[in-house]
Amino acid sequence: MQKQQMKYKITPLNSIAIGANLYFLADYLLHKESDAASLGLFVIIYGVLIGIGILILDFGIQLIVKEYRKIIPIELLLIGGIVFWIAHTERTKTLLIPDNFGEGNLFIIYGVEDAEKLPLGFFTWNYEVKVPESGILLTSTKFEDDLPQTNVKTYSKIDLDKHEQGLTFGCLYESELNCRDKIYQYRSWIVQKNGCEFSSQKADSQRTQLQNTYCK
């Protein structure tokens, strides 16, 4: 008996991949000879490669799962899982600093006994927490449990980029602090007027500040 050939069908995955690749192609063709804003060649190439990868994945699913009515829910679940994972990596904590904080360092020291836990859980998408005037926030929450993204506002909820002093924040730095015979993990940021420039000297200066403020 002749073996029935697989018929490649339209599915959620290949629809997304084809639509995305057409968008990237159109962006490239429309902007390659103009000064208008574009996604950038690297982003376009990266996006097209991802689109091709999705098409290969879709082809494999259709090759393995023969029934079309089963392919649709499988791919929808897969898309939902990817969307949830991406959203989970964009969860954001907002550090509230004093209105007159000015320029300086911000720290979160994790795993400190008797300190308050951060207001978060697995399904926490964002939270706000006040940073003391010292710029050092202590928490008993573990380093790896905190939300991945960070925003900074003043106590009066003003974004730094809208602050009258024109402050910005950045220079995320992660390290460890040896304090009272214990090792603590911490994250630090720099609030300043100019762009972020980080160096080993600044890292040493931050660690010295923590030693003199928290560990003395």
> How would you write 181-196 as a 3-class SS string?
CEEEEEEEEEEECCCC
Alpha carbon 55 to its chain's center: 26
On whether the CB atoms of residues 181 and 160 are closer than 8 A, the answer is no
- Within the chain, strands assigned E span 92-97, 104-109, 126-130, 136-138, 149-154, 168-179, 182-192
pLDDT exceeds cutoff 90 at 8: no
pTM of the predicted protein model: 0.75
Alpha carbon 100 to its chain's center: 28
Reported as a single tens digit per residue, the pLDDT across 26-61 is 888 887 766 555 777 888 889 899 999 999 999 999
pLDDT exceeds cutoff 80 at 21: yes
Q: What pLDDT is attached to residue 3?
A: 55
Percent of the chain with pLDDT over 70: 92
Mean pLDDT of the chain: 87
Q: How far is Cα 126 from Cα 119, in angstroms, rounded to an integer?
A: 9
Q: How far is Cα 147 from Cα 139, in angstroms, rounded to an integer?
A: 13
Q: How far is Cα 207 from Cα 127, in angstroms, rounded to an integer?
A: 26
Q: What pLDDT is attached to residue 165?
A: 66
| Radius of gyration (C-alpha) of the chain in whole angstroms | 24
Query: ∠ CA(97), CA(159), CA(85), 5° rounding?
Result: 95
Band (127; pLDDT cuts 50, 70, 90):
very high
Q: What pLDDT is attached to residue 34?
A: 65
Q: What pLDDT is attached to residue 166?
A: 75
Which has the minimum average pLDDT: 7-21, 141-155, 187-201? Answer: 187-201
Reported as a single tens digit per residue, the pLDDT across 130-172 is 999 999 999 999 999 999 999 999 998 888 766 666 788 888 8
pLDDT exceeds cutoff 80 at 116: yes
pLDDT exceeds cutoff 70 at 2: no
